[in-house]
Amino acid sequence: MTDDQQRHTLILGIGSILRKDDGVGITVIDRLREQTLPAGVGLLDGGTAGIDLLSYLENLDRLIIVDALYADGKPGDIRVIAGEDLRERDIFLSGHYGRLSDMLDMVAALGKRPETTIIGIIPRDCESYEMGLSPEVADAVPRVLEMVHTMLANPVQPQPDRSAS
């Protein structure tokens, strides 16, 4: 791809809005739909589709995933995981996706591995069948939106071609 060709970025929100904080990724996508984004940026409410999303992930330059993420910290804390950290950590996305590294390997087998970043928000409650985010997670959403816009303002870093290995 030459520099004058448009780069393609997908922001993927995943989770279930019916499971309280598990819906934070979807909430971020809904809020981004109300904002102006650069050309070449797509938004996808991935819900709980899991492996069925692979066709949407082909031939991307950049993939930004927003999801509830169990990690050390307080509810509403934000964790950004990218680069080698994605390959070194055993990250599971929402209950319906399995290991992120497996999904990215499948994407690479279909074409190329996009520059991938996870923006994870530590949830308070992803178990209750209730709509709406907990106050701590809802308070994190504007910070996540700001992070996304900052990421989009930076150029995509070329990824090594791993399909031949």
Residue located via tokens 């390997």: 105
- Averaged pLDDT, 15-36: 94
Mean pLDDT value across the chain:
83
The conformational region for residue 67 under phi > 0 = left, psi -120 to 50 = alpha, else beta, is beta
Is the separation of the CB atoms in 27 and 80 below 8 Å?
Answer: no
Beta strands in the chain (DSSP E): 9-14, 41-47, 62-68, 78-82, 115-121
pLDDT at 60 over 60: yes
Q: Look at residue 92 in the predicted model and tell me its pLDDT.
A: 58
Q: Read off φ and ψ for residue 92, nearest 5 degrees.
A: -110, 130
pLDDT band of residue 3 (cuts 50, 70, 90) is: very low
On whether the CB atoms of residues 33 and 86 are closer than 8 A, the answer is: no
Q: Give this prediction's pTM.
A: 0.84
Q: Which pLDDT tens digit goes with each residue over 110-163?
A: 777 888 899 999 999 988 899 999 999 999 999 999 999 999 998 776 555 544
Which residue from 74, 67, 43 is spatially nearest to 121, judged by alpha carbons? Answer: 67
pLDDT for 162 equals 46
Beta strands in 92-149 (DSSP E): 115-121
CATH class held by domain 9-153 = alpha beta
pLDDT of residue 144: 98
CA angle 72, 74, 79 (to 5 degrees): 60
Are 117 and 153 a contacting pair, CB within 8 Å?
no
